[in-house]
Structure 1
Amino acid sequence: MLTYCVRRLIWRCENIARTSHCCRVAFARQHCSTATPVRSVAEDSDHTKTLMQLCTDRYYIASGQLHRDSFQRGTNCGYGPLGMELKKNILEQWWNSVIGFRAEVFGISTLHASKDRTTERDGQLRVVDTENLRQILSQRELSKDQLIQKLQTHIQNGASLRTSLFQGALEQYVPSLELVNRKLPFGLAETGLCFQPSGGPSCPDEVTQSSLVWFCSPRTSSQWLDYWARHRLQWWRKFALGPSDFSCSDITEEELAGRASRGVKIVYNFPWGQEALETLLSRGDAELLQTHKSARNKLQCLDGRKSVVPYAISVTGNLERGVLAYLYNSLQQVKKVDSKQRLQQRKVLKLHPILSPVKVALDMGRGATVELRQVCEGLLKEFLEGGVSAWPGYIETMPTSMEQLNTKYDEMGVLFTVVISDNTLESGLLQVRSRDTTIKETMHISEVKNFLARYISAAQNI
């Protein structure tokens, strides 16, 4: 089974008919007049180029121009090990901030594809059986109209791929009512992959979305929209090096296009303009009624003593664009003088300690290689067992100076570098370098694990 865009198949049909039965979306840069750029256009371009190269070199995104274009567009780009870990950390923090924030929010999981998902207005993406498709195309006796009719029927019988998580929450609304004793408000949260038309005959774009659908009474829907907008903006700013780059703005009636009565978006000020990270919409009750065939009796909940059909407020996030926003926000370029008195630019990916993919890198100094490696392996095992992500730098065979290692780990966003040397074998002391301060501290090997655990725990509460 392969994924096909309807637009692609119609395009193919027209070409087949034309030959007698033979067988990126450009990134829309929305420049916002309210944005206040800090850097010049040339500096913004240089910053973008530097970040993209760093992400490719330091295992955040896969190499190749296509992947980088996808990343900037806010779609899945093919992550490297560190990019995947960063995305996982953001997803985990999002989940905790929604599910752990209020007792009335419950997690759900819905299918990527469904034959019953007929209420999505933009359900243009379907899964089709390519073998059956091939058989249809091989029937040379069919006329043009017959061929198109058969292809359209085949496409319509295929399962519809979800383009958002909103519909799944509406479908699970009724089964969830018992959880809350039919009382408002409550919410359903989910994260997962969605598929969106690419705007051409190519494969659909993949986007990892986060979704909270909050069901509340019609009389309080406006207040709840404001409540969740404040909450989401605070959450995005919590992990930011420069919080002012994240802001909140109302969605215009033209942008709403009848989807909702009111909307708010959380945006990040990229060099090319503001892009939405999360979109909050007050969607009323029409889509809920449509999903459940206007069965008002089974949809009603208690709002105090009154029974009402709730309004739905959707909070939809683009996690791919969120990863990109935090990478842009955390990259610092600082001028420094190296050991040979040469002026250089130090690039540091100052990701928040909670989001940073690697908390500590382990390396060896000069000394007995076999013994030092054994110490590193033992310490690495301790870190991993304690839930501290570690980078085994000691397995590198190419000779590298400490200055080069520090440059590499700063660009990777590693919080601390631990160096094991002969001194460690003799006295148990090792050297710990901080990414943010560049200060090197001598510490006993027995204290390192607890030090990192306390540091990360404290960062969680900032």
Structure 2
Amino acid sequence: MATKLFTKPKLLSEFLEICRKNNYFAANVENNLIKNVNFLSHTPNLKGNIERQWLLKSKEIQNSLKTYDNDEFLEYGENLSLLEKYALVLKRDRIARSVPFGLTEIENFTKEMMIGNASDENTSIGIQLENYPKMLNCWYLVSDKQSQEYFYRIQRIRKLWWMKYAANPGRFVISEVKQDEEKDTKSVSIKATYPFGTIDIESIEMMPVDSINSEAKSKNATKFIKTTTVSEVAAIETVLDSIDAGDFGEMCLHRKIAPYQCTVYSISKDSSTSKELKDLAKYISMLLQRSQISILNTDDCHFSDVSALEHKYKEIDAIGVPYSIVVDTNSLENGFMKLRNRDTTLSETIHISDLNDYIPQIFQS
């Protein structure tokens, strides 16, 4: 039986210390408010992967609900407003005239942002962000008749998205609906629950189209349903979730959003083969990078004994790398190598000729 490496964190301050130690972000906490957030070396890749998966899901959210992203409007200029894009879609796409559709929008916030309401009374955790946080918005335009159906459907789909990439899918809840009858708006938030409290991670709001612009209302689209998450908040939540789910110090990051998807190591007690093995490891890394697999390159990638390699496994498990490849002297003779899975700690044998097909399939599935 594996020996437990550490006591699982319970306090928010304990979680934040692990985040700092693992080079994701450093932050302070005061009265349930996470502040002075400084993102470290592993977070840019993590944020980029989260944003890509968000865009993919926004476009796939519903077969009958076509969604357009910014790239589809570049020929008309880079600074089109939401309503200008809306008008273009109605003009050029006949399908959009008769069915609901969505517009994705990535917006750089230009001032300090406060997420949630920090409170000692109800254990709600707030997050204070500086340095131009990035908002991921999707505006769905629907008819008044369909608005209730889509309001609840989009809530379910967005909750399922968070569950898909979480190590603990059961931590997500949808708040009660808040309604403003005077403004004709409804809103909910998706929350992540932790031992130390709850974090607001996404808002979903339904509002009349004419609340944005009185001239935008049409017989085809009378309501907006807007979903909003903040890239930095998504990164923070993902890291906290992966720490909370780990039993032995590992970060259980989903393979599609982990900042590094694989590492490549070599091992041999025979110093005469070390250079050849290092070259083989570099070659394998190059092949994987050509297949769009992100590789964590480290200076200490060659080991002379198993205990040193196992210690390295603990280090990369702690930052959430899902897979490792290990080559040894047998690899030089027959082309076989070991592929280790972070979550099971088990290894399977694969051949170098299968590398370009087998590894990418793991991350595409």
1:108: Cα distance to partner? 2.8
Query: Contact 2:266/2:301 (CA < 8 Å) preserved in 1?
Result: no
Report the aligned-residue RMSD. 3.3
SS of equivalent residue, structure 1 residue 348: coil
Q: Is the 8 A contact 2:35 2:129 kept in 1?
A: no
Equivalent residue for 2:319, pick from 412, 417, 427: 412
1:94 Cα deviation from its structure 2 partner: 0.7
Indicate yes or no: 2:344 matched with 1:442.
no
Residue type matched to 2:212 in 1?
L
Question: So what's the TM-score if we normalise by structure 1?
Answer: 0.63
Match of 2:233 in 1: 321
Contact 2:255 2:363 survives alignment (8 Å): yes
Instruction: State the match for 1:44 in structure 2.
Output: 10
SS of residue matched to 2:249 = strand
Please list the CA deviations of residues 330-376 of structure 1 after superposition, one character each: whole Å capped at 9, or x if unmatched.
22443xxxxxxxxxxx2011111211222211112124232112111
* Contact 2:266/2:303 (<8 A) preserved: no
Corresponding residue for 2:135? 209
In structure 1, distance between residues paired with 2:286 and 2:327: 15
Residue identity opposite 1:376 in structure 2: A
Query: Structure 2: where are the runs of 5+ without partners?
Result: 1-7, 72-78, 115-127
What is the CA distance between 1:173 and its match in structure 2?
Answer: 2.7
For 1:85, which of 45, 57, 60 is the aligned residue? 45
Q: Distance in 2 between matches of 1:455 and 1:198?
A: 37
Judge conservation of contact 2:274–2:302 (CA < 8 Å) in 1: no
CA distances 1:26-80 after superposition (whole Å, capped 9, x unpaired) = xxxxxxxxxxxxxxxx9521xx44443333233322x5xxx4559x967894433
Q: For 1:360-408, what per-residue CA distance to the aligned partner results, in whole angstroms no more than 9, with x for missing partners?
A: 1111212423211211111111000011111223555898811210110
Q: 1:436 to 1:445 in 2, by over 3 A?
A: same
Q: Distance in 2 between matches of 1:230 and 1:173?
A: 25
Per the alignment, do residues 206 and 170 of structure 1 end up closer, same or farther by CA in structure 2, a change over 3 Å counting? Answer: same
Structure 2 Cα separation of the partners of residues 78 and 168 of structure 1: 31
The answer to whether the aligner puts 1:55 opposite 2:24 as a matched pair is no
SS at match of 1:407: helix
Q: Percent identity?
A: 20
User: Does structure 1 retain, via aligned residues, the 8 Å contact 2:113–2:133?
Assistant: no
Alignment check: 8 A CA contact 1:363 1:392 kept? no
Evaluate the alpha carbon distance shift between residue 321 and residue 173 of structure 1 in structure 2; reply closer, same or farther with a 3 A threshold: same
SS at match of 1:195: coil
Deviations 1:396-430 (A, max 9, x none): 58988112101101111111221222222233232
Q: How does 1:32-431 map to 2 (within 5 A)?
A: 43-45=9-11, 48-61=12-25, 63=26, 67=27, 77-102=37-62, 104-108=66-70, 168-181=81-94, 182-197=97-112, 206-253=132-179, 261-289=185-213, 294-295=214-215, 299-303=216-220, 310-331=222-243, 332-334=245-247, 346-366=248-268, 367=270, 368-393=273-298, 395=300, 401-431=308-338
Paired residue type of 1:215: L
**Which secondary structure state, in structure 2, belongs to the residue aligned with residue 413 of structure 1?**
coil
The change in CA–CA distance for 1:183 and 1:257 in structure 2 (over 3 A counts) is closer
Return the offset for 1:175. 3.2
Aligned partners of 1:300 and 1:382: how far apart in 2? 52
Partner of 2:121: none
Report 1:4-19 matches (<5 A): none
CA deviations on 1:299-344 (whole Å, 9 max, x unpaired) are: 35444xxxxx62212111122222222222222443xxxxxxxxxx
Residues 172 and 420 from structure 1, CA distance in 2 versus in 1: closer, same or farther, beyond 3 angstroms? same
Structure 2 CA distance for partners of 1:395 and 1:94, relative to 1, 3 Å: same
**2 CA distance for matches of 1:251 and 1:205?**
31
Distance 1:94 1:333, change over 3 A: closer
- Check 1:189–1:302 CA distance in 2 against 1; reply closer, same or farther (3 A cut): same
Instruction: Tell me the amino acid that sits aligned with residue 83 of structure 1.
Output: T
SS state at 2:224 partner: strand
Asked whether the 8 Å contact 1:353–1:456 carries over to 2, the reply is yes
Aligned residues of 1:419 and 1:432 also touching (Cα < 8 A): yes
Query: Retained in 2: the 8 A contact 1:250–1:264?
Result: yes
SS of equivalent to 1:391 = coil
The one-letter amino acid of 1:276's match is D
Give the letter aligned to residue 87 of structure 1: K
Counting matched residue pairs gives 328
Q: 1:406 to 1:272 in 2, by over 3 A?
A: same
Q: For residues 75 and 105 of structure 1, do their structure 2 counterparts lie closer, same or farther at Cα, with a shift above 3 Å needed? A: farther
